[in-house]
Homo-oligomer: A and B are copies of this chain.
């Protein structure tokens, strides 16, 4: 729950895990960040940000996987996206009312940098090229969310599950064999299904020889068929 603050000062100008946006910054600006930021780590399962909390620091994800989610009234959870390294968390919230609209939890061990929001905003105002890169990132996010939205609202459960599997294979792991970083319930929450329905579809894919499934370990055996199901199913 509570981040382990690293005792090491993070020398941003030498950091090998810079974002595309930060790569544009001048040495002076990077030093400005360094003086107002802090490295930290989270353990798998830790909640990093609670929806509804105020933002004083922006979180930059240096390594690990994070789920972005919200809980609704009846305790059910909707996972918005899986965030992987080299990403700023919660940018849209920052530029609105400064209240975090989503929660974030670590799916694996995670390392991050906290950056003071005032410094971050100042950099955007001072350096249009930095601002442009941040815009690119927020826009990409927005289009991705839209894609997920369309996927959930227009496809049937087989198409949705296929889509999610392809998403993990191509975007997150870049492998045809991978380990899902969460439970079946969370998998279902990501695509807006009940746990039972998600399980049933996975079992069906296994029985049909499309996937090999052993617990959280997944291999895609028939990628073409899976892609076809994602499109038309």
- The chain A residues found within 8 Å of chain B, CB to CB, are 70, 72-73, 76, 78, 80, 91-96, 101, 121, 124-132, 134-136, 138-143, 145-146, 148-150, 152-154, 192, 231-232
Instruction: Give the oligomeric copy count.
Output: 2
Could you list 7 further interchain pairs (A-B, Cβ under 8 angstroms) beyond the known A124-B135, A125-B131? A72-B150, A91-B139, A92-B143, A95-B139, A95-B140, A131-B131, A138-B142
Tell which of B92, B128, B131, B154 touches A139, judged by Cβ atoms closer than 8 Å: B92
Chain B residues with Cβ below 8 Å from A124 are 128, 131-132, 135
B94–A150 contact, CB under 8 A? no
A38–B197 CA distance with the chains assembled, in angstroms: 53
A134–B130 CA distance with the chains assembled, in angstroms: 13
Report the nearest B residue to A191, measured CB to CB: B153
Q: Which 10 A-B pairs have the closest CB atoms?
A: A131-B131, A95-B139, A125-B128, A92-B139, A92-B142, A142-B142, A95-B136, A149-B149, A128-B128, A153-B192
Report the nearest B residue to A91, measured CB to CB: B139
B143–A145 contact, CB under 8 A? no
Min CB distance, A206 to chain B, in Å?
A: 26
A85–B220 CA distance with the chains assembled, in angstroms: 47
B143–A101 contact, CB under 8 A? yes
